[in-house]
Structure 1
Amino acid sequence: MTPVPEIRAALLAWYDRQARTLPWRMPPGAGTRPDPYRVWLSEVMLQQTTVPHATPYFLEFTARWPTVSDLAAVPDAELMAAWAGLGYYARARNLLACARVVAAGHGGVFPDTEAGLRALPGVGPYTAAAVAAIAFDRPANVVDGNVERVMARWFAVETPLPAAKPELTALAAGFVTDDRPGDWAQALMDLGATICRPKSPACEACPVSFGCAAGAGGDAATYPCKVRKADRPRRRGVVWVLRDADGRVALVRRPDRGLLGSMLGLPTSDWSEA
């Protein structure tokens, strides 16, 4: 049985010493909570993106648009241009939609509960929990891929992903208390990012190795178990490059939904496996 109080105490003590310095984060013990806008913006940017890649974008966005109301006033095309390179462009559209609702419907102030955050456009369970915990110190269960991996190893969960997700979420909930919920969420994130890595976990440096069932068995790297993904289909199509006499290239606006939604691109045919 993984000792919950002992693990919480050890991991929070490690976080107090080793917390990563990130531009959207307040250090442990600072005595103030981070700006909800910055927490929300960072969480949206970090979906499917690494910290080193997202950080320059975060710094640029917060310099150009320091408040959610500033961001809400940005024209769609300007926001999409600033987002270019972060990928998953539906996030940018949701980002702008959410900012506009917060600015117009909430006076530029983010709701401070999970339920209130979930009601915003584009805010799912993970982002709502992360903002509630980190920005408002609510006892929310913040579960991303890092946390799933940590739980799978602590409890040596044999069920493969994605079927194991409900079980891993329930296990993570057992560690959430009213005591420092924001720091706890970030401590788990830091543990997964720096110690309990997907490959070559640094078990010898882990502050909570005493509570890890997979580590005790010497096979932490084999968790979480995963079902082999099906091969991705290859699709083919035609791309046209149309130039006028001045050398200008014709572009089209892609549909809002689908690959590179709302972005400018070259005109193409449909794509198929044929």
Structure 2
Amino acid sequence: MITRGRRRGAGRGDVRRLAGAALAMGLLAGCSALPAMPDPVPTLVEPSIPPAPAPSSSGNLSPDGFDTAQRIAVRIRNIGCGALSTGSGFAIDDHTVITNKHVVADTSTLQVSTYDGRDVTANEAATAGLADLAIVRTAETLPAAPALADADADIGDAVTVVGYPLGRTLTVTPGHVVARHTDPLNETLGEVLVTDAPVEPGSSGSAVLDADGRVVGVVYAKDQNGHSFVVPVSTLRSMLDDDTAFTPLTPCTS
């Protein structure tokens, strides 16, 4: 069973506005946010992007948290059957990456690269049935793994999103938790966090960190008002503790 954080929502007017905004929200992986059509399938797969320059801002992170943020984040390229898309993810141990289910969907091959430009072989992936989460197992050792926060962030807490929007430079984006809201895409999931940290396509699967670099959630969608939607760490913890929560992903065949 999913553990939900304490319900500390915005006012009724705020919740109604968020609910209306959520109707227009889209998933973030790939070349565009839903409901736009995807870009044409490329004729060539570009080589891995070289190491990106360090972010110019540390967001709401402490110096130690900033260092951790850079090392845990990975860029994921999904070479699918009929499409090429990008997303973000983060390590939770030496060989395990957390990302979104829609980042790895319809894949033939997953390519994972680290902050220093190193390519890491993805051996297998598994997806959750309840939330927009996925696990990717790697052959090589990942640079670093963060601590998972013991509790969900509260409304008003400062947070930082760390990922690769548009599949490009590692970006550190500050924001605050502005509400808790029933998940507009998976109503059985329960409540998710809403932040004002702006995200872009390719940010899906980004870690959301507190000031000390602990994971408080996973970005999975945005709306047209600049809000990002986050699976809270309580849900992530519950699913990682449940052996039946993730199902192995079968690669597509062209």
Calculate the TM-score normalised by the size of structure 1. Answer: 0.24
Whose helix proportion is higher, 1 or 2? 1
- How high is the TM-score relative to the length of structure 2? 0.26
**Greater fraction strand:** 2
